[in-house]
């Protein structure tokens, strides 16, 4: 997610051993979660893990570049530590950290990403309390480590309120951080797991003299998804952008919505509503002929009084309008060296009501070594989204289309 989000779930188990100790099935494939699990007794355990994402990007006429020169930037996108545990048959916890800024003169600072108390009783009804992902579209619930595309946020559709800052403040300039917020989620599934739901309420945007939501209205968020074919198996209400063919034959449709009265970023903008629909289709072809994966997402965001104020010192200017993101990829059968190649194409279009449209075309090649645990991505991008970005939707935003080439590395355990 630009340099803003690049975040999401530390993944609740991340370890096959942890899943085996639990009474619920929380993992979808034996190589999807790794790490070290320490068993305390027949009920209690704790697991440790880590994840790193880094990249190099060269962009034509990027900010700071002059003439026909290209910028050259190395970035540490994510550096995370994962801690998960169980203290009772029905009581678990999750604690993850992230760095920000990971790249900078101060070397980066670690902060709390997730801190969740989990009461998991039945597949139908579970409660999570604490700092956690706000229910939203699949892209947000995948997080950077479980998305199918490396640049899913930085060159993607606009963010929810909880993503407009990477740190939480109580001065009216943030509505959560990194896609998370402090609140409560209720989640579960019915119809043998085919119908999955999550609903929660969160602090959202509040606090600070002269800032929005002085009445401290809470933010409401919901998501419902239906697995038409095989059931996706993920921890809690988290999702994935691909299973590399190991999750079965998948066709899942999801819908999400967020609403907060007086929560549209800045005082005077009014209330915020964000609605999204997403689709995941994945089919392992017969006779081990590879895997086809398609992701699609449509967003419609509304602001009750229009995007009239973009004073970033008093909050953040929210997006209002329509946006969509579509991608398709093919996992080529057979290994080349230690991994498999996966070419893909992607298109993103953002159509704000009070600002200029922006889009991007992307073509890339993933080298899949160990699923989401080890992957290398080469990406080519072209469009004005590279210069206009997906954070500023004021009336004076300008920028021309340019080219960019990136190389990304991802690993976790």
- pLDDT score at 242: 98
Beta partners for residue 358, in sequence order: 350
87 burial type by CB count under 10 A (0-12 exposed, 13-18 middle, 19+ buried): middle
In a domain? residue 171: yes
Range of the domain at 67: 16-412
Inside any domain, residue 175: yes
Q: Is residue 11 part of a domain?
A: no
pLDDT of residue 268: 84
Token digits of residue 27: 């993992």
Q: Residue 52 corresponds to which tokens in the numbers above?
A: 């790193």
The answer to whether position 9 is within a domain reads no
pLDDT in tens, 82-111: 999 999 999 999 999 999 777 765 667 889
pLDDT at 23: 34
CA atoms within 13 A on the CB side of 206: 13
The whole-number pLDDT of residue 281 equals: 98
Q: Is residue 29 in a domain? A: yes
CATH number for the domain including 135?
Answer: 2.40.160.10
- Is there a domain that residue 379 lies in? yes
Instruction: Indicate whether 46 belongs to any domain.
Output: yes
Structural domains of the chain, count: 1
CB < 8 Å & 24+ apart, contacts of 253-256: 253/225, 253/226, 253/228, 253/277, 253/278, 253/279, 254/137, 254/138, 254/223, 254/224, 254/225, 254/226, 254/278, 254/279, 255/223, 255/224, 255/225, 256/135, 256/136, 256/137, 256/221, 256/222, 256/223, 256/224
Residue 7 lies in a domain: no
What is the block-wise mean pLDDT of the chain (413 residues), using blocks of 10 residues?
Answer: 40 40 34 68 94 95 67 92 96 94 72 96 97 97 96 93 87 90 98 98 87 91 98 97 97 98 89 97 95 98 75 78 98 97 98 94 98 98 94 88 96 95
For the stretch 143-153, pLDDT in tens is: 999 999 999 99
Run of H or E including 36 = strand 36-39
């Amino acid at each position: 997610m630009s340099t803003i989000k690049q975040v999401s779930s530390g993944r609740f188990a991340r370890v096959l051993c942890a899943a085996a100790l639990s009474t619920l099935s929380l993992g979808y494939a034996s190589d999807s979660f790794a790490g070290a699990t320490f068993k305390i007794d027949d009920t209690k355990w704790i697991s440790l893990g880590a994840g790193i994402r880094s990249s190099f990007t060269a962009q034509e006429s990027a900010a700071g570049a002059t003439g026909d020169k290209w910028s050259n930037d190395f970035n540490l996108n994510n550096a995370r530590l994962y801690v998960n545990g169980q203290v009772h048959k029905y009581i678990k916890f999750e604690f993850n950290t992230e760095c920000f800024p990971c790249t900078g003169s101060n070397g980066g600072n670690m902060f709390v990403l997730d801190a969740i108390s989990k009461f998991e009783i039945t597949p139908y009804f579970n409660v999570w309390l604490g700092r956690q992902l706000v229910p939203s579209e699949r892209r947000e619930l995948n997080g950077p480590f479980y998305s199918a595309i490396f640049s899913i946020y930085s060159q993607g559709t606009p963010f929810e309120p909880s993503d407009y800052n990477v740190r939480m403040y109580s001065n009216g300039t943030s509505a959560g951080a990194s896609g998370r917020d402090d609140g409560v989620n209720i989640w579960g599934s019915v119809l043998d797991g085919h119908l999955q739901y999550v609903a929660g309420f969160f602090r959202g945007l509040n606090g600070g003299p002269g800032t929005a939501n002085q009445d401290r209205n809470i933010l409401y968020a919901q998501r419902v998804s239906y697995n038409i074919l095989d059931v996706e198996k993920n921890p809690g209400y988290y999702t994935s952008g691909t299973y590399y063919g190991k999750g079965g034959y998948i066709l899942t449709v999801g819908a999400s919505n967020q609403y907060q009265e007086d929560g549209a970023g800045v005082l005077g903008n009014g209330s915020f509503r964000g609605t999204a629909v997403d689709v995941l289709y994945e089919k392992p072809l017969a006779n081990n002929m590879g895997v086809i994966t398609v992701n699609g997402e449509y967003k419609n965001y509304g602001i009750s009084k229009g995007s009239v104020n973009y004073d970033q010192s008093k909050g953040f200017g929210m997006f209002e309008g329509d946006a969509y993101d579509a991608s398709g990829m093919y996992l080529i059968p057979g290994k080349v060296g230690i991994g498999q190649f996966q070419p893909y194409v992607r298109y993103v279009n953002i159509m704000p009501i009070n600002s200029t449209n922006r889009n991007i075309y992307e073509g890339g090649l993933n080298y899949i070594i160990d699923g989401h645990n080890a992957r290398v991505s080469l990406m080519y991008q072209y469009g004005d989204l590279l210069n206009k970005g997906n954070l500023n939707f004021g009336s004076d935003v300008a920028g021309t289309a340019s080219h960019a080439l990136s190389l990304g590395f991802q690993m976790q355990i």
